[in-house]
């Protein structure tokens, strides 16, 4: 039941946040986007390794 509540809250947050972002006219340059994209995969891999270590320690 708690999972459904969390999913409902996240869905409502998306319904509020997405229109606000669309109205803000905030634009990201391609240079900034490439700098951010360079860090995404390493951070995902680090988080997966941490989760594996955590699961093995349990």
Each residue's pLDDT, cut to its tens digit, for the chain (58 residues) gives: 899 999 999 999 999 998 988 888 878 889 988 998 999 999 999 999 999 999 998 8
Rg (the chain; Cα; Å): 17
Predicted confidence at residue 16, as pLDDT, reads 94
- Helices (DSSP H) in the chain: which residue ranges? 2-23, 30-57
Question: Would you state the structure tokens that stand for residue 18, as one six-digit string?
Answer: 């997405």
Predicted confidence at residue 6, as pLDDT, reads 94
Predicted confidence at residue 38, as pLDDT, reads 93
Predicted confidence at residue 43, as pLDDT, reads 95
Predicted confidence at residue 46, as pLDDT, reads 97
* 48 vs 58: CA distance, rounded Å: 16
Q: Say what the pTM is.
A: 0.50
């Amino acid at each position: 039941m708690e999972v459904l509540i969390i999913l409902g809250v996240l869905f409502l947050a998306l319904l509020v946040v997405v229109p606000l972002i669309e109205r803000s006219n905030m634009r990201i340059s391609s240079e900034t986007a490439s700098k951010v994209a360079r860090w995404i995969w390493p951070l995902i891999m680090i988080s997966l390794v941490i989760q594996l270590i955590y699961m093995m320690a349990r």
